[in-house]
């Protein structure tokens, strides 16, 4: 390969649970600074794909390269050290810790904390006002915002984000779209977004792909004229 290595290169990836194969030979590449959205109906294997990339599930076939390095057989804690931030679909905040502790936990550089908090505080002002509140007492949408704030604060080179807009009101989704684009502009972070919200996906992502029964069924660039209709068709049938 010439030039800079892809932030993420997934090739021929197959994985699943026990006897069940859920991800079937998927290829996805995310260039440095690129944002790619994966869409698809419920149960098609989108979250399973991200879990396999993160090493929580073994790849049965295929490869995962992060920034050019093969991490296919790495355990999750080694993958987590590759400047990658993963926000899972299921809530993954520490319910009993404060908002502030949730934000500072796992940050690679403690010295960044104040500066980064200032920045994400502009996107999600409530976080700064509630640093000492127990995170489990935040609303569902606020917990989602806390998750994405924590991911942004770690200064990752690649973010894997699983259905972050689920359950958020339109004004917050719009703020999130602006925040992710601003972050990409500022740091050049690459992103793989799993989404059901087509409008958000097309606003934020450069390219999209539809996952159906564990395979990529259709893909294109976000500025294709009929992208929204094409995706909506896949999601409705």
Residues that bind ligand ATP in the complex, under the rule CB under 6 A: 17, 20, 22, 40, 42-48, 89
CB of 135 vs Mg ion, minimal distance in Å: 22
Q: Site for Mg ion (CB under 5 A): how many residues?
A: 3
Are β-strands 190-194 and 158-162 bridged in parallel, bridged antiparallel, or unpaired? parallel
Collapse the DSSP code of 198 into the 3-class scheme (helix H, G, I; strand E, B; otherwise coil) and give the result: helix
CB of 160 vs ligand ATP, minimal distance in Å: 12
Q: Which of residues 36-55 bind Mg ion (CB under 5 A)?
A: 46-47
Residue 109, token pair as written in the block: 């550089």
Nearer to ligand ATP, 47 or 104 (CB): 47
Residue 222, token pair as written in the block: 């976000």
Q: How many CB atoms lie within 10 A of CB 62?
A: 18
Out of Mg ion, ligand ATP, none, which partner does residue 2 contact, by CB within 5 to 8 A per kind? none
Could you give the C-alpha distances from 98 to 19, 54, 93, 143, in angstroms and in order?
40, 26, 10, 12
Q: How many CB atoms lie within 10 A of CB 188?
A: 12
CB-based closest residue to Mg ion: 47
Q: Are 233 and 210 in contact (CB under 8 A)?
A: no
CB of 183 vs ligand ATP, minimal distance in Å: 24
134 strand-pairing partners: 98
* Residue 15 sits in the site that holds Mg ion (CB under 5 A): no
Out of Mg ion, ligand ATP, none, which partner does residue 40 contact, by CB within 5 to 8 A per kind? ligand ATP
CB of 44 vs Mg ion, minimal distance in Å: 8
Are β-strands 69-70 and 20-30 bridged in parallel, bridged antiparallel, or unpaired? unpaired
Out of ligand ATP, Mg ion, none, which partner does residue 17 contact, by CB within 5 to 8 A per kind? ligand ATP
Nearer to ligand ATP, 75 or 125 (CB): 75
CB of 208 vs ligand ATP, minimal distance in Å: 15
Half-sphere exposure for 50 (CA within 13 Å, toward CB): 26
């Amino acid at each position: 390969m010439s030039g800079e290595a892809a932030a993420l290169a997934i090739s021929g990836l197959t994985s699943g649970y026990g006897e069940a194969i859920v991800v079937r030979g998927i290829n996805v590449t995310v260039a440095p600074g690129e944002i790619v959205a994966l869409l698809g109906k419920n149960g098609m294997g989108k979250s399973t794909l991200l879990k396999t990339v993160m090493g929580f599930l073994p790849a049965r076939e295929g490869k995962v390269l992060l920034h050019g390095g093969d991490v296919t057989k790495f355990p999750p804690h080694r993958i987590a050290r590759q400047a990658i931030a993963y926000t899972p679909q299921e809530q993954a905040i520490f319910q009993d810790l404060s908002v502030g502790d949730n934000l500072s936990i796992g940050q690679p550089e403690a010295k960044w904390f104040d500066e980064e908090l200032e920045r994400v505080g502009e996107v999600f002002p409530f976080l700064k006002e509630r640093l000492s509140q127990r995170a489990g007492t935040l609303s569902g949408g606020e917990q989602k915002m806390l998750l994405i704030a924590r991911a942004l604060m770690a200064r990752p080179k690649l973010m894997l984000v699983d259905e972050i807009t689920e359950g958020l009101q339109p004004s917050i989704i719009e703020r999130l779209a602006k925040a992710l684009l601003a972050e990409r502009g500022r740091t050049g972070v690459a992103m793989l977004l799993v989404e059901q919200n087509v409008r958000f996906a097309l606003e934020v992502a450069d390219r999209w792909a539809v996952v159906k029964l564990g395979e990529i069924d259709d893909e294109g660039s976000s500025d294709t004229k009929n992208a929204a209709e094409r995706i909506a068709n896949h999601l409705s049938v």
